[in-house]
Amino acid sequence: MSLLFNTYKRFPFEIIHGEGVHLTDNHGKRYLDLTSGIGVCNLGYNLETLNQAVAQQLHRLWHASNLYHSSLQEQVAAKLVQGKDQLVFFCNSGTEANEAAIKLARKYTGKQKLMAFHQSFHGRTLGALSITGNEAIKSGLGALLNDVDFIHYNEISALSSITSDYAAVFVEIIQGEGGVTVADSEWLIALEKQCQTQGVLLIVDEVQTGMGRTGKLFAHQHYGIQPDIITLAKGLANGLPCGAVIGKKQLGQAFQPGSHGSTFGGNPIAMVAANQVLNHITPLLLEEVQAKGEWMLKKLAKKLTALSVVKRISGKGLMIGIQLTDCIPVADVLDKLHKQGILALSARGNTLRLLPPLIISKEALDKAITHIHQILSAY
């Protein structure tokens, strides 16, 4: 009998080793990983330069309070803002980043109301859950923030609901947990304009889409928009707990000493890892991610579109969803993929979600597509 709370529906095996884009379980079975730990290990596993940097820091210092200057935090912040007039706050997760963004938006604007989108996901703490558009995971928790409204994603007519009463709008460039739904370019640009017109902060949740996942460092860069605040985590430190809030410099007046904090946020181990990750996310790697993503979407469309069990294929870069008809539970497909030595994910709407490490080869992706086609064709 497990001594753990039953908060996860766990598969009956344990992952004990990783190398490159492959994982090995406690039975010795080897898998091609199309999950990246849910978009976390974007650079794969056992990357030597990353391992060495973390090991060196481990023997220097694990932790120091944020009461002292941190040159490591300054280095990572500089790589994140890329010369823009922005400031960074470091925390430990995407949920924490979104919590901090809620506080920053309210404190800067002096307004309380927030807007988000149906089928969105921003985290599981009470504040982040309040701006999450999934009622099922809020059940039984009692009252959350009572000044949050939701509108439909990708609907331009819904944007008129954003008025000057709101402090901020939270949006994902791709709704990952919501079924891998990609924002329409025209809609996203209209959203930015509406926020600017009404004096509402635009907060882009890049927790899953950031750190090169879509072929840009941040997914919003595909659209040319300029968010007021960006929230970030998952792939930032390739598996070590690390999150961040990036905000326009003028927002800094709202966060002064005592306004917010984090005991472990920006700790030396996480910062060394994040620094190395950002060194590896080069323009060449991002170009390769875009190219592999475009190739994969075309290949999947060619192989799967004709299958009656496939409703939709969507995504950008190496963040891809295959929505299946209800007669084929995605959980069954995952089990069959496991037997073929492939790890994948699910998302809302009976969607098979693929988040492979950014370093994966076309050959490995081709192998995965072949197995997915074989499994879906058999239904």
The pLDDT of residue 73: 98
Q: Which domain holds residue 222?
A: 49-280
> Do 42 and 76 have their domain in common?
no
Q: What are 5-34's pLDDT values in tens digits? A: 999 999 999 999 999 999 999 999 999 999
How far apart are alpha carbons 22 and 36 in whole angstroms?
10
Residue 8, domain member (yes or no): no
Backbone angles phi, psi at 374, to 5 degrees: -60, -45
Same domain, 185 and 319: no
Task: Give the tens place of pLDDT for each residue, 99-138.
Answer: 999 999 999 999 999 999 999 999 999 999 999 999 999 9
Angle of the 268-280 helix axis to the 71-81 helix axis, nearest 10:
30
Could you tell me if 206 and 79 lie in one domain? Answer: yes
Instruction: Kindly report the CATH number assigned to the domain that includes residue 260.
Output: 3.40.640.10
Place of tokens 């995971």: 137
pLDDT in tens, 250-298: 999 999 999 999 999 999 999 999 999 999 999 999 999 999 999 999 9
pLDDT, position 1: 80
Same domain, 85 and 225: yes
Is 111 found in the same domain as 248? yes
* CA quadruple 97, 253, 112, 67: dihedral sign: positive
My answer on whether 114 and 254 are in the same domain is yes
Last residue of a domain, one of 262, 280, 298: 280
Find where tokens 């080069």 sit: 282
Check whether residue 35 and residue 158 sit in a common domain. no
Q: 296-335 pLDDT, tens per residue? A: 999 999 999 999 999 999 999 999 999 999 999 999 999 9
Whether 317 and 348 have beta carbons less than 8 Å apart is answered as: no
Q: To which H or E segment does residue 354 belong?
A: strand 351-354
Same domain, 244 and 346: no
Q: Are residues 170 and 220 in the same domain?
A: yes
Q: Whole-structure pTM over 0.95, yes or no?
A: yes
Task: Supply the CATH number for residue 20's domain.
Answer: 3.90.1150.10
Establish if 2 belongs to a structural domain: no
Is residue 293 domain-resident? yes
In total, how many domains does the chain have?
2
Q: Is the domain of 157 the same as that of 210?
A: yes
- Give the angle 335-337-342 at the CA atoms, nearest 5°: 125
Same domain, 140 and 21: no
Of 280, 304, 325, which closes a domain?
A: 280
CA distance 319 to 297: 10
CB 169 within 8 A of CB 175: no
Q: Which tokens sit at 170?
A: 């939270």
